[in-house]
Homo-oligomer: A and B are copies of this chain.
Amino acid sequence: MTSSGRPGDASGAAEMGTLIDQIRSIVGPAGLLTAPEDFSSYACDWRKRYSGRPLAVVKPASTAEVARVVSACAETRTAIVPQGGNTGLCGAATPDASGSQIVLALSRMNRILAVDPLNDTITAEAGCVLSRLQGAATEAERLFPLSLAAEGSCQIGGNISTNAGGTAVLRYGNARELVLGLEVVLPSGDTWDGLRGLRKDNTGYDLKQLFIGAEGTLGVITAAVLKLFPLPRSRATAVVGVQTPDQALGLLNRARGVGGERLTAFELFSDFCLSLVLKHFTDTVAPFRRRFPFYVLVELSDTQPGEGVRILAEKVLGSALEERIILDAVIAQSETQARALWKLREFVSEAQAREGPNIKHDVSIPISRIAEFIAATDAELARAHPGVRMVTFGHLGDGNVHYNVSSPEGAAAEEFSRNPGAINRIVHDGVARFGGSISAEHGLGQLKREEILRYKSPLEMDLMRSVKRSLDPLGIMNPGKVL
């Protein structure tokens, strides 16, 4: 393994011309964009926080093409930025401004390669859009549980590369837990075929784990074998009013103990979140006549059809109400009502965006301490920045909240959100104090690459760098991200 050079440095304009010609000969004209006016949707991230200037956008049609493109880039020390649906929230798929990096977009590699209901697996290329995968599973009377706001445009390769979370983690795990096998083009241009569909395989190091959640810094995921699950045949959806997140946790403990793995969603949102949704989505209605400080969306589901799961939900919520663990509850009586309740939670992200910018955090805390974290950090923020308004919502059942901070009423939201440093410090130091993570499901990308240095030990950073060096000695794979 040779020492790493800074990618891009060695290559003059003439050599770049050669590289582009070489890439064109690999992917054909349909697979190559070189005109800056065609770059826009690839050069900027979804939130419009990061904007770069790629040398070219390359769209291979097969794994073999990816491998040849990566080889050509390795030869010229050209940096590669793998890109899926470009819906990431931390800028991991955005090239830098040097004009020397290529964006490798997987969108043309979008085939479902196999569905095997008896093995409970689906195999797909990396560019397959998540909602298509979900649909193919349903057609086979199976569930592919990964579900998140961007599911109509995010791609499974990106989901795996960021170890995506979403609303089904409580029951089915993160993207990592759903992967059985991977095919990866390594930074050398070699293709590792780890496309296995096995539940058990203890023949050495589990290499696929390296690439899951690595945000494209160790290789390009080109295909995956994913787990399927039995299709739920009944569902009960409820919204519950509580005084505090701590009360919500009391209900979580109860619901999981009684319902077991029927509990498929446990999502928190504050009354301020609800007010934003009601304001910006006029077709939504408040779940109760009264308002409560916090709400929880609870969902139970079962492979058994019928009323069993609704009766169970009534039992759990009824006894919680009697024992004053919760303040009120409404259970959907139809699929339409269930959809309406889900909207109150799902629209929070978009409602806060319409309201104006705020300072976002995606944190996780051990579930037993998350209520304490919220209370302590709310208090500390209120002391240090009087009047700030908390947009607190997320996957409480996973210990994961999007703990966003809005400017005081009347203050300039733009200016407030442009200077997140002091707020981040309070929130992230709090996270560290409570044994949590400053990026629960969004990754590091560019956004938290510096911030993480404050919270991870130098030893852990060294270990990560050592893994990076051993797989990508030239440093061409998505440089400037994660590490």
Q: Which residues of B contact A196 (CB under 8 A)?
A: 435, 437
Q: A198 contacts B366, CB within 8 Å? A: yes
Q: Which residue of the partner chain B has the closest CB to A482? A: B204
Q: A202 contacts B463, CB within 8 Å? A: no
Interface members, chain A 369-414 (any B CB < 8 Å) = 369, 395, 398-400
Q: B464 contacts A364, CB within 8 Å? A: no
A127 an interface residue at 8 Å Cβ cutoff?
no
0/1 interface trace, chain A 287-306, chain B, CB 8 Å (1 if under): 00000000000000011100
Interface members, chain A 106-160 (any B CB < 8 Å) = 116-121, 141
Q: A201 contacts B249, CB within 8 Å? A: no
Q: How many copies does the complex hold?
A: 2
Q: Which one, B176, B256, B400, contacts A206 given CB within 8 A? A: B176
- Of the 9-residue stretches A55-63, A418-426, A452-460, which lies at the interface with chain B? A452-460
A212 an interface residue at 8 Å Cβ cutoff?
yes
- Of the 9-residue stretches A79-87, A161-169, A346-354, which lies at the interface with chain B? A161-169
How many whole Å from A260's CB to the nearest CB in chain B?
A: 3
Which size class do A's interface residues fall under? 35 or more
Q: Which one, B204, B258, B368, contacts A303 given CB within 8 A? A: B258
Q: Which residues of B contact A97 (CB under 8 A)?
A: none
Q: Which residues of B contact A249 (CB under 8 A)?
A: 118
A261 an interface residue at 8 Å Cβ cutoff?
yes
How many whole Å from A56's CB to the nearest CB in chain B?
A: 28
Q: B399 contacts A199, CB within 8 Å? A: yes
Q: Which residues of B contact A340 (CB under 8 A)?
A: none
A39 an interface residue at 8 Å Cβ cutoff?
no
Q: Which residue of the partner chain B has the closest CB to A369? A: B119
Extra inter-chain contacts (9) besides given A116-B368, A169-B199, CB under 8 Å: A119-B366, A141-B257, A163-B206, A192-B459, A198-B364, A198-B440, A199-B367, A205-B482, A210-B467
27 contacts between A and B (CB under 8 A): A1-B466, A116-B366, A119-B368, A165-B200, A169-B200, A174-B199, A176-B206, A192-B459, A194-B460, A197-B435, A200-B364, A200-B440, A201-B440, A203-B439, A204-B452, A205-B210, A205-B463, A207-B463, A207-B467, A230-B260, A231-B257, A232-B260, A261-B261, A463-B471, A466-B471, A467-B467, A469-B470
